[in-house]
Amino acid sequence: MLLILHPNTKDDDPSYKETMTFLQALPGIAHRVHKVQGQQQQLTEIYLIGDTHTLEKDQIETLPAVERVVRIADEYRVLGRHKDSDLVTGFTYNGVDFTQDSFHLFAGLCAVDNPKHVEEMLRVLQDNGQQCTRMGAYKPRTNPYSFQGHGDSCLPYVFELAGKYGIKVVAMEVTHEAHIEEIDAALEQTGRPTGVMLQIGTRNTQNFELLKSIGKQQTYPALLKRGFGITLNESLNAAEYLASEGNSQVIFCLRGMKSSFGAPHRNMVDFTHVPVVKRLTRMPVCIDPSHSVGTREVAPDNIMDVAHATAQGIIAGANMVLVDFHPDPPTALVDGPQALLLEELPAFLADVRLVRETYLKRGAIWGG
Amino acid sequence: MLLILHPNTKDDDPSYKETMTFLQALPGIAHRVHKVQGQQQQLTEIYLIGDTHTLEKDQIETLPAVERVVRIADEYRVLGRHKDSDLVTGFTYNGVDFTQDSFHLFAGLCAVDNPKHVEEMLRVLQDNGQQCTRMGAYKPRTNPYSFQGHGDSCLPYVFELAGKYGIKVVAMEVTHEAHIEEIDAALEQTGRPTGVMLQIGTRNTQNFELLKSIGKQQTYPALLKRGFGITLNESLNAAEYLASEGNSQVIFCLRGMKSSFGAPHRNMVDFTHVPVVKRLTRMPVCIDPSHSVGTREVAPDNIMDVAHATAQGIIAGANMVLVDFHPDPPTALVDGPQALLLEELPAFLADVRLVRETYLKRGAIWGG
Amino acid sequence: MLLILHPNTKDDDPSYKETMTFLQALPGIAHRVHKVQGQQQQLTEIYLIGDTHTLEKDQIETLPAVERVVRIADEYRVLGRHKDSDLVTGFTYNGVDFTQDSFHLFAGLCAVDNPKHVEEMLRVLQDNGQQCTRMGAYKPRTNPYSFQGHGDSCLPYVFELAGKYGIKVVAMEVTHEAHIEEIDAALEQTGRPTGVMLQIGTRNTQNFELLKSIGKQQTYPALLKRGFGITLNESLNAAEYLASEGNSQVIFCLRGMKSSFGAPHRNMVDFTHVPVVKRLTRMPVCIDPSHSVGTREVAPDNIMDVAHATAQGIIAGANMVLVDFHPDPPTALVDGPQALLLEELPAFLADVRLVRETYLKRGAIWGG
Amino acid sequence: MLLILHPNTKDDDPSYKETMTFLQALPGIAHRVHKVQGQQQQLTEIYLIGDTHTLEKDQIETLPAVERVVRIADEYRVLGRHKDSDLVTGFTYNGVDFTQDSFHLFAGLCAVDNPKHVEEMLRVLQDNGQQCTRMGAYKPRTNPYSFQGHGDSCLPYVFELAGKYGIKVVAMEVTHEAHIEEIDAALEQTGRPTGVMLQIGTRNTQNFELLKSIGKQQTYPALLKRGFGITLNESLNAAEYLASEGNSQVIFCLRGMKSSFGAPHRNMVDFTHVPVVKRLTRMPVCIDPSHSVGTREVAPDNIMDVAHATAQGIIAGANMVLVDFHPDPPTALVDGPQALLLEELPAFLADVRLVRETYLKRGAIWGG
């Protein structure tokens, strides 16, 4: 059972205290409080867990802080959409709105290699009006003897440069709970010039201990990549791990599935699931065309497959795009062959904007 | 080795005869002649098969009927794109152009059930300016005890009604070579009021004997569905079976892959391969969103998943869309749950046109 | 509803005629008669199809020719095992017993290349006490330009040599209904020196028209290979196509699934389904280790992977093994790399026998 | 480059010191030392990493502590088999030998529920002469609201009871590096009455941080389960992560792959890869029939599918079997439906022994 409180209810409001006192007295029922920061207001949701079917919905709705009560199914309790409810989607982080209606491009480096490349990348982003980027410091690699990323040694200059070029959110993969502390320390040390979105890679989608660690903090939002070898349901349950620990600022990222059916692409692109994830959950949906497609091949219409895949995600309503660029792909330490060139950013952006506009027009056709 | 003759070369031209005499005298080399009907002219291509590496390209180009010679790789000899060549794509059938630049919608009934429903469907198509449709008479079913389609008994009224409502091409699945004759007989009997495109279903993609039968005739073009459990390369080789027997009027149809990764959709949608097939081969590319998605579920943006999948195929350059409609889905004998309603056709068409226009604009951005 | 008649009931027995008269008078109920030739007796089964739930089981059991009545579920009507029934499994063909308790090795040539190799193969089989073999005349190939088998031109010498060396059953793939006639003609022409089991390859598992053709004749039993890209349930339904047309002399063959999980083997071996198929249906179960594994690699225990896979199938109760040998693998026209050498047959046979004996002992442990 | 030292070389032997001094002086070359405890002697292997192709094999072999030098490929440097080498396989832990020639059964509880069931399980194992078991304390679950195991609270009684009933090795899954410390503390607290093998589950096969943590300690050996959605090569690389950090006491466990082809089994059984893993690496190979098959279904031969799968792994040379038993499956908190009953252990053991003996006899046939 989900209780949605009146907007901007505060912890020390008498209505809140009275409500909590009542809930704490319920036998055999635990509760979890989720706070979601929207642009205009803060929303508080309380999940009652346990034997809730004996509770009367009407009675709970009379509690002073409660605006509405929703009975929820077992699956995706926090992040799911539930029948007859019109729950808020997404969140605001560092002044940037992430909802099922927003749209942001996160172009950047798959793996940070040196300050020069980072700066070149960020300068081009600023020149093109971007305020988000992706930067990889910790790289999980299949082979133990491959380059594993520069780790926390590169964080200070990445964050400083991000601040210098007006970047508000850096998406960055973490593979161990210690990385959260390292990121936090580096941000603190550099004066918090930018924000960070913690990215969980496809090999860690079911690393439940890592999910719990990220779920326990609420400083940084999370970007969870879909597991490349498990069902959509299993990946959505993994997102719920983050939320069940208290962090519901979660974006879900489609990145292609491991299947021989995808060849000659690196993975089998799964962006037809964009509307599915939006229907099943309240999460904004991201797509990662670079890792899905994995090549710079061009079709006879002169458009790269990676641009086609991007368009396919956006035309179906994707809220965020993660895409690899590099100032000098041949020298990139990881995944160079799939990176776009800095000089391709303007055309890529023009394409992205055209298709996003078309998506919005489609909504008008269908009465959305 | 591929010889492209001068346009409109005829079989009784002296230049053609002289050329053929030369080719027939080459030891250990067989040849196959392909004629492609374009809108303005007829093209003849001759494939030399065997130990062709001893032939001099320059010498062959001096033959009187030959315009150009292309050395081709082993794969997809007839239907493939070959380096340094700018071969024509597609064909014209019954006055309708099918190329990698054209676009047509084939809305219709998955399975013909009765004349009333066929007529209702066709009338709506005509009202909406359509000249193509899909109509299933022969239905291969997984369970031997399920309805298997009305077979040739329904052909006369389907063709007559198609003619009455101005339909020029009916896509129709065949599962046995005898069906080609049945279709031909029914068309003959009804005065050829319409044309037929022979469709090969996903369970028969590697039914090489059926492919050879369809490849041996050139009256009807073929629509080959991708095999749902094999690689793209294997399915493209199946298309080449059609062409190797003499029929290169082939359209390749993406229809989703069998994979647990696709759920909750019926299949895992593979439309990111639209540009791939256009790059590897000269075939126009069709998409089948109905069988891929398999539901009428609607996303929070009020757009059905099947419309999203359609848009994803078109935004990446699909040349043809096969989509199931039905006047009364609950009574449909096959795949009712995925059929769109007749009253949904106008919005569907408006969506399709908007996205197709956007695709063409994307080409301008990328200099295509 | 399934009616099992008294053993050796003949078509002109009065009890049979009376029973049929009664059944024909049942409104809305069709019936199909299946005859199974066992070693000792002939069994007749009659399937009632339609609205049978209004029929009284007791009443039908009083019909003079009827020994027992079994209510059956919808799936696998003819070939399935049905609750509370103890139906006979398998059949006898050309004096050879094929049941869920029998065991036979079918070693032979994947593709017939010339009479010399066929004779060498058959001589070694006779020397080692074998009476079955596999011989491929019609080869479906992914690439249309690959060798497609010698077809019916090789049939006469294959059958004559089979007879000469005491072979009773030759398993042979067919890909078109015309091949059945060609085989029948060649057998007739050579005096029927041997028998043939018609094999349906994995690419034709859902070629329902071919299945119907083979199902309509009862001269030759069928060996249906599992489809390499569909579920087990779908492949078992394909077997039911054969039976629904009247031929229930069907053996089901596991041959590995197409999956990237199988590498470095050619396919992902699926022999753990041997007991599953025996539980769900009445078909004897064959395994094809050669195509599953696809290599001659040897483990550190000096045993080839293909021998290990064979042992895995037999230890779980496989009734038949299809395995590729060749007198000179490097010159084999198809799949040479996976063929065993003639001189390896004795060890292979010793291994097979040891493991089969162990399987039988396992039954004693578990009280089977 | 791999240097194998003379057996029983000790760290303070002059020959060892001299060798190390030489190696440390090599420019651009790092080294990693691996010690493997065999039953008779301790072996030391030193891996040279970096630009080793300039080193002379002959020269290195003259170093006083070095017995032999092997040039190794890049893949599976530590755990791989390398050409022209005859490296030792496996290790000895707590008096129990684990090699590619050994065989051990690990029957036990998937998830520890209470002391009574643990004791009942262990008593039956002792009665049947077993010295190994599996016991799950930390359970990673797909749904965050499912039972997650009793964690470290159950460790003291599990270890004490294991000691009481003569168990030498308990296989136990860990999902976080902290669990290693918890296990170590509980063993210490209870007087180390038994040993523990750290198990890494299929969802963590590519949790490289966890692998590194386990690889960094050498107190406990590791049992790595194959990832259920990645290639074999990727899973073997994950094993190499353990070894690259210093712990080469690794057993590799096949446990079935996630694929719709496996139904009606829970996973698609992959035990045909037993000989493959033994060929590619030096690891002993374990099979987990319980999680692969996931049911207690019985074939017409009265043998459960899980027993058939077990036999299939053993007949191909498996060195270890992990199998779920439970005193009262209906009350089991996790995976009850697949657990065998305690009274089924004797038959299961008899079956296992019979098949293992047969495997050894097969080796004689093939000259292994």
Least confident of A110-119, A179-188, C137-146, D75-84: D75-84
Q: How far is A224 from chain B (nearest CA, A)?
A: 17
Tokens of B64: 């009187």
User: To probe the interface with C, which of A257, A260, A261 has the most C CB atoms within 10 Å?
Assistant: A260
Distance in Å from the first CA to the final CA of chain B: 29
Q: Which among A144, A208, A240 is the nearest to D244, CB-wise?
A: A144
Q: Could you count the other beta carbons within 10 Å of the beta carbon of residue D73?
A: 9
Residues of A with CB under 8 A from a CB of D: 49, 74-75, 77, 140-145, 175-176, 203-204, 206-210, 227-230, 234, 237-238, 240-241, 244-245, 258
Check CB contact under 8 Å for C358 and D363: no
pLDDT band of C41, cuts 50, 70, 90: confident
The SS3 assignment for D301 reads coil
Whether the upstream peptide bond of residue B284 has omega within 30° of 0, thus cis, is no
**What is the complex's ipTM, to 2 decimals?**
0.88
Check CB contact under 8 Å for A315 and B317: no
Residue D85 has pLDDT above 70, yes or no: no
Q: Do the Cβ atoms of B142 and B358 come closer than 8 Å? A: no
Amino acid at B255: R
Q: CA D339, CA D328: separation in Å to the nearest integer? A: 9
DSSP letters, D91-129, are: EEETTEEESSS--EEEEEESS---HHHHHHHHHHHHHTT
pLDDT digits (tens, 9 = 90+) for A243-256: 999 999 999 999 99
Q: Which among A77, A203, A230 is the nearest to D206, CB-wise?
A: A203
Least confident of C1-5, C209-213, D180-184, D289-293: C1-5
Check CB contact under 8 Å for A75 and D209: no
% of chain A at pLDDT higher than 90: 71
Residue of A nearest to D141 (CA): A208
Check CB contact under 8 Å for D176 and A209: yes
Please, which residues bridge with residue B211 across strands?
A: none
Q: How far is A205 from chain B (nearest CA, A)?
A: 15
User: To probe the interface with B, which of D257, D260, D261 has the most B CB atoms within 10 Å?
Assistant: D260
Residues of C with CB under 8 A from a CB of A: 258-260
Q: Do the Cβ atoms of C319 and C100 come closer than 8 Å? A: yes
Q: CA A102, CA A131: separation in Å to the nearest integer? A: 14
Spell out which residues of chain A touch residue B351, defining contact as CB-CB under 8 Å. 362, 365-366
Q: CA B132, CA B115: separation in Å to the nearest integer? A: 18
Q: Do the Cβ atoms of A275 and B305 come closer than 8 Å? A: yes
Residue A339 DSSP class: P
Spell out which residues of chain B touch residue A293, defining contact as CB-CB under 8 Å. 272
pLDDT band of A87, cuts 50, 70, 90: confident
Q: What is the pLDDT of residue C345?
A: 98
User: To probe the interface with B, which of C148, C207, C213 has the most B CB atoms within 10 Å?
Assistant: C207
Check CB contact under 8 Å for A258 and D176: no
Residue of A nearest to D260 (CA): A231
Q: Phi-psi region for residue C367, left (φ > 0), alpha (ψ -120 to 50) or beta? A: left
Check CB contact under 8 Å for A272 and B261: no
Residue D189 has pLDDT above 70, yes or no: yes
Q: Do the Cβ atoms of B206 and B227 come closer than 8 Å? A: yes
Establish, for the pair of chains A and C, how many residue pairs have beta carbons separated by less than 8 Å.
5
Q: For residues B21 and C345, which has the higher predicted lDDT (pLDDT)?
A: C345
Q: What is the pLDDT of residue C282?
A: 93
Q: What is the pLDDT of residue C85?
A: 65
Tokens of C74: 């919808």
Q: CA D223, CA D291: separation in Å to the nearest integer? A: 15
Q: How far is C295 from chain B (nearest CA, A)?
A: 21
Spell out which residues of chain B touch residue C207, defining contact as CB-CB under 8 Å. 175, 203-204, 207, 210
Check CB contact under 8 Å for B275 and A363: no
Mean pLDDT score of chain A, rounded to an integer? Answer: 92
Q: How far is A196 from chain C (nearest CA, A)?
A: 36
Check CB contact under 8 Å for A229 and D258: yes
Mean pLDDT of C255-259: 96
Q: What is the pLDDT of residue C122?
A: 98
Residues of A with CB under 8 A from a CB of C: 258-260
pLDDT averaged per 10 residues, chain B (length 368):
87 90 85 78 83 80 86 78 75 96 97 97 98 96 87 97 98 98 98 98 96 96 97 95 93 96 95 97 97 93 97 98 94 85 97 98 92
What is the pTM for the complete model shown? 0.88
Residue of B nearest to A281 (CA): B300
Nearest in space to B326 (alpha carbons), one of B335, B314, B317: B335
% of chain A at pLDDT higher than 70: 98
Q: What is the pLDDT of residue A31?
A: 84
Nearest in space to A342 (alpha carbons), one of A96, A133, A158, A161: A133
Amino acid at D297: E
Q: Which among A261, A273, A368 is the nearest to B257, CB-wise?
A: A261
Tokens of D298: 């019985």
Q: How far is A232 from chain D (nearest CA, A)?
A: 12
Residue C353 DSSP class: H
Q: Note the helical H segments in chain D.
A: 14-24, 57-61, 115-127, 155-164, 177-189, 208-216, 232-244, 274-280, 289-293, 305-315, 345-366
Check CB contact under 8 Å for C208 and B75: no
Check CB contact under 8 Å for D140 and A208: yes
Residue A154 DSSP class: G
Q: How far is C101 from chain D (nearest CA, A)?
A: 9
Residue D316 has pLDDT above 70, yes or no: yes
Residue of C nearest to D351 (CA): C362
Q: How far is C140 from chain B (nearest CA, A)?
A: 7
Q: What is the pLDDT of residue C119?
A: 98
Residue D25 has pLDDT above 70, yes or no: yes
Nearest in space to B240 (alpha carbons), one of B213, B219, B218, B211: B211
Q: How far is A294 from chain B (nearest CA, A)?
A: 12
Residue C320 has pLDDT above 80, yes or no: yes
The SS3 assignment for B83 reads coil
Spell out which residues of chain B touch residue D259, defining contact as CB-CB under 8 Å. 260
Nearest in space to D235 (alpha carbons), one of A84, A143, A81: A143
Check CB contact under 8 Å for D203 and A206: yes
Instruction: Show which subunits contact A, needing at least 3 CB pairs below 8 angstroms.
Output: B, C, D
Q: CA B15, CA B25: separation in Å to the nearest integer? A: 16
Establish, for the pair of chains C and D, how many residue pairs have beta carbons separated by less than 8 Å.
180
Residues of D with CB under 8 A from a CB of A: 49, 74-75, 77, 140-145, 175-176, 203-204, 206-210, 227-230, 234, 237-238, 240-241, 244-245, 258
Check CB contact under 8 Å for C208 and B203: yes
Instruction: Show which subunits contact D, needing at least 3 CB pairs below 8 angstroms.
Output: A, B, C
pLDDT digits (tens, 9 = 90+) for C46-90: 888 777 777 888 888 888 899 888 877 667 888 888 766 667 789
Check CB contact under 8 Å for D308 and C274: yes
Nearest in space to B286 (alpha carbons), one of B102, B160, B83, B152: B102
Q: How far is A141 from chain C (nearest CA, A)?
A: 20
Spell out which residues of chain A touch residue C259, defining contact as CB-CB under 8 Å. 260
For A171-193, give one letter per residue: b (16+ CB within 10 A) or e: bbbbbbbebbebbbebbeebeeb
Residue of A nearest to B256 (CA): A261
Q: Could you count the other beta carbons within 10 Å of the beta carbon of residue D351?
A: 23
pLDDT digits (tens, 9 = 90+) for D168-185: 999 999 999 999 999 999
Instruction: Show which subunits contact B, needing at least 3 CB pairs below 8 angstroms.
Output: A, C, D
Residue reference for tokens 């190794």? D72
Tokens of A248: 């519901």
The SS3 assignment for A213 reads helix
The SS3 assignment for B198 reads strand
